[in-house]
């Protein structure tokens, strides 16, 4: 059927926007229902589509319907007022739309068709009471749970499962014959396995039953020969398992016979074979713990040893990854340089020629990585397997990744109590000093750069400066006055003022209830703008101007020609945010560092403020 003021859809689970073609007076007259429940938070991306507050599930029924108010007139003509075509059209549209909606309601109701029968229009009839009189309609629930007993339903289910029920009915005579001879049928059923075996044999091209019968008719019967040697037959029968085992393994028996020399060798060393057998668990454990391959073994266990033939390195599984069993660095350190491609995160194998094309290898935990000269925190990468590093964030083209690795080794334990005289020189890893400095001092290189000395500490600090706009909330008073016979908006007393709504600010518009204040993206007000817009009540609307908001137009959603333009400029910054490393306690990431408007490296202790637009630093 065709409706004038409603349209329905079956949701696909992927979209929450649905179009319609019927006209309306106000968007509040357009309603949306999902499986019969109204969605009261719909928006209008266009004048002929609605967007639900959430995406309906696949198969849900979505109804878009116009419901024009019938309890009050939208236009009330007054004596002496200006009679406009828009008011006349709106009054006529209200009556016309109500008649269309009445027609839709009549079409959607259960009624008599041309054959004088009630037509449910291929729809479900719900909320039906239980029947009372003989000709009352019956519901599915009443039929299944009241009228039919449990045994009735069981019998119906049994009959429904019989595919040849019609064939049985056509063979009633035969069925009665079987019933009359049921004793014989039961005897056959008791021995059915034997009956089937005989029937199957008789159906074969060469029947054993026929063969036996033929043999018994011969002058010299093989069956008689077997009967005369029944003792031997029984002996074979009693050992049939072994006979079958030999027959089944004839191939293996022939194979052993062909390698009898090796079998004899094993027999001659059976003591060693027995020793291995007695310690088979240890042998298997060694096989499971030690692997040789070019790629990492699958499903490793903690402590497994793997000789990596690709890199000629012995590795051990730590429980989460394979690591080098010994130091993979030849000497005290290794250097590896790589030039990154776009979005590259993984670095392995031969390095840049600047570092001799050396193949990357390292001991887990003994590695430093630099990106374009900036040291990366260990949380910014993964380096556990001894031959590959993976960055958390992809590189840009030609980023330089420099890897510094350190050799590990063990030294003999020497008790500090054994060093009882002299001062350990800096060349031997000491300080060259025989005493401790005063509290708060640090150890530093002297001005001649040839010895260590104690001096006062000065903490290095990074100060990052970010300027930003701190938005505010402004309240606008909207009134309505008649100008030349037409109503116009006055914003804070100015007729159709061109507004400057700055990004980041919040604006509250208080307006008359008869003239709803709304926003659109075009001067014709056909595309409602709802981003950041909240209708607080019938007399108040709030907009939080979003970043990148387009030029807007304000208008009355009930009457045309009342509004004006609202520009959305980007405001100048009016505040300063300062971020520091807090004397090394905090970290500043590379992305955060790149967002700073300015950076200063200095000693800690500075306090910054802004006075008359100037940055003031005190310490």
Among 516, 507, 568, CA closest to 537: 516
Task: Tell me the C-alpha distance between 67 and 41, whole Å.
Answer: 16
pLDDT higher at 296 or 541: 541
Which domains, from first to last, does the chain contain?
6-107 (no CATH), 134-162 (no CATH), 193-228 (no CATH), 292-324 (no CATH), 333-406 (no CATH), 463-467+574-618 (no CATH), 472-567 (2.60.40.420)
Write out pLDDT tens, residues 49-60.
999 999 999 999
- pLDDT bracket for residue 415 (50, 70, 90): low
Check: CB of residue 104 under 8 Å from CB of residue 70. no
Tell me what the mean pLDDT of segment 425-441 comes to. Answer: 78
Note if the pTM is more than 0.75: no
pLDDT in tens, 333-358: 789 999 999 999 999 999 999 989 99
- What's the CA dihedral at 550, 556, 559, 562 to 10 degrees? -80
Do residues 104 and 85 touch, judged by C-beta distance below 8 A?
no
Nearest residue to 510 (alpha-carbon basis) of 535, 553, 476, 536: 476
Q: Which of 470, 460, 492, 465 is nearest to 479 (CA)?
A: 492
Please provide residue 194's backbone torsions phi and psi, each rounded to the nearest 5 degrees.
-70, -40
Average pLDDT of the residues in 297-305: 85
The answer to whether 436 and 470 are in contact (CB under 8 A) is no
| 444: confidence class by pLDDT, cuts 50, 70, 90 | confident
Residues 115/118/123/126 CA torsion (nearest 10 deg): -170
Joined together, the tokens standing for residue 508 give 């509250």
The values of phi and psi at residue 459, to 5°, are -80, 130
d(CA 606, CA 616): 10
Q: Dihedral angle at the C-alpha atoms of 90, 92, 97, 100, nearest 10 degrees?
A: -170
598 vs 387, which has greater pLDDT? Answer: 387
**Within the chain, how many helices (H) and strands (E) appear?**
16, 37
- Three-state DSSP class for 437? coil
Say what the pLDDT of residue 617 is.
Answer: 65
| Interatomic CA distance for residues 546 and 504, integer angstroms | 6
Strand order in the sheet with 43-46: 17-19, 49-51, 43-46
Residue 571 has pLDDT above 80, yes or no: yes
Give, as one character, the DSSP assignment of residue 528. B
Contact 53, 41 (CB under 8 A): yes
Mean pLDDT of 356-362: 91
pLDDT of residue 564: 96
Helix/strand/coil for 13: coil
Instruction: Tell me how far apart the alpha carbons of residues 423 and 243 are, in angstroms, rounded to a whole number.
Output: 91
pLDDT tops 70 at residue 604: no
Element (H, E) at 6: strand 6-10
- Rounded Cα distance between 79 and 83, Å, is 10
167 against 22, higher pLDDT:
22
Confidence band (pLDDT; 50, 70, 90) for 600?
Answer: low
């Amino acid at each position: 059927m065709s409706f004038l003021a409603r349209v329905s859809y079956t949701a696909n689970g992927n979209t929450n926007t649905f179009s319609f073609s019927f006209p309306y007076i106000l968007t509040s007259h357009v309603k949306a229902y999902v499986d019969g429940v109204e969605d009261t938070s719909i928006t209008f991306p266009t004048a002929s589509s609605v967007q639900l507050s959430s995406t309906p599930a696949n198969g849900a029924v979505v109804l878009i319907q116009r419901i024009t108010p019938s309890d009050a007139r939208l236009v009330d003509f007054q004596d002496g007022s200006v009679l406009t075509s828009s008011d006349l059209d709106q009054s006529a549209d209200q009556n016309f739309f109500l008649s269309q909606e009445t027609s839709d309601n009549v079409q959607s109701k259960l009624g008599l068709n041309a054959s004088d029968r009630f037509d449910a229009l291929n729809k479900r009839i719900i909320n039906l009471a239980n029947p009372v009189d003989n000709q009352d309609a019956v519901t599915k629930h009443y039929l299944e749970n009241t009228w039919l007993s449990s045994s009735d339903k069981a019998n119906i289910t049994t009959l429904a499962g019989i595919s040849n029920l019609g064939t049985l009915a056509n063979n009633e005579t035969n069925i009665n014959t079987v019933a009359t001879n049921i004793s014989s049928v039961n005897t056959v059923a008791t021995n059915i396995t034997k009956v089937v075996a005989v029937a199957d044999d008789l159906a074969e091209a060469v029947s054993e039953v026929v063969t036996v019968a033929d043999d018994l008719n011969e002058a010299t019967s093989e069956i008689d020969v077997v009967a005369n040697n029944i003792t031997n037959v029984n002996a074979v029968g009693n050992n049939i398992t072994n006979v079958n085992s030999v027959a089944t393994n004839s191939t293996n028996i022939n194979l052993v016979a062909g390698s009898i020399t090796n079998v004899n060798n094993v027999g001659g060393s059976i003591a060693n074979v027995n020793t291995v057998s007695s310690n088979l668990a240890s042998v298997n454990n060694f096989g499971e713990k030690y692997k040789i391959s070019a790629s990492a073994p699958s499903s490793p266990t903690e402590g497994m040893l793997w000789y990596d033939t690709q890199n000629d390195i012995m590795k051990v599984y730590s429980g989460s990854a394979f690591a080098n069993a010994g130091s993979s660095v030849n000497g005290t350190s290794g250097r590896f340089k790589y030039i990154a491609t776009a979005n590259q995160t993984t670095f392995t194998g031969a390095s840049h020629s600047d570092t001799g094309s050396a193949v990357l290898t390292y001991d887990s935990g003994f590695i430093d990585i630099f990106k374009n000269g900036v040291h990366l925190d260990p949380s910014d990468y993964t380096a556990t397997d001894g031959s590959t590093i993976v960055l958390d964030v992809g590189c840009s083209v030609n980023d330089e990744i420099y890897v510094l690795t350190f050799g590990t080794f063990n030294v003999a334990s020497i008790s500090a109590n054994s060093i009882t005289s002299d001062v350990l020189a800096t060349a031997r890893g000491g300080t060259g000093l025989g005493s401790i400095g005063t509290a708060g001092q640090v150890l530093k290189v002297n001005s001649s750069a040839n010895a260590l000395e104690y001096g006062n500490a000065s903490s290095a600090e990074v100060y990052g400066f970010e300027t930003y706009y701190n938005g505010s909330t402004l309240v606008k008073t909207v009134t309505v006055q008649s100008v030349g016979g037409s109503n116009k908006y006055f914003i804070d007393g100015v007729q159709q003022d061109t507004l400057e709504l700055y990004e980041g600010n919040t604006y509250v518009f208080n307006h008359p209830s008869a003239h709803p204040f709304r926003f659109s993206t075009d001067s014709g007000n056909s595309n409602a703008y709802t981003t950041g817009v909240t209708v607080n009540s019938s007399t108040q609307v709030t907009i939080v101007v979003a970043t990148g908001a387009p030029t807007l137009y304000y208008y009355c959603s009930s009457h045309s020609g009342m509004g004006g333009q609202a520009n959305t400029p980007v405001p100048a910054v009016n505040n300063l945010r300062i971020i520091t490393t807090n004397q090394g306690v905090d970290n500043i990431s590379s992305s955060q560092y790149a967002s700073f408007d300015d950076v200063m490296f200095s000693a800690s202790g500075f306090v910054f403020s802004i006075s008359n637009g100037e940055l003031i630093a005190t310490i």
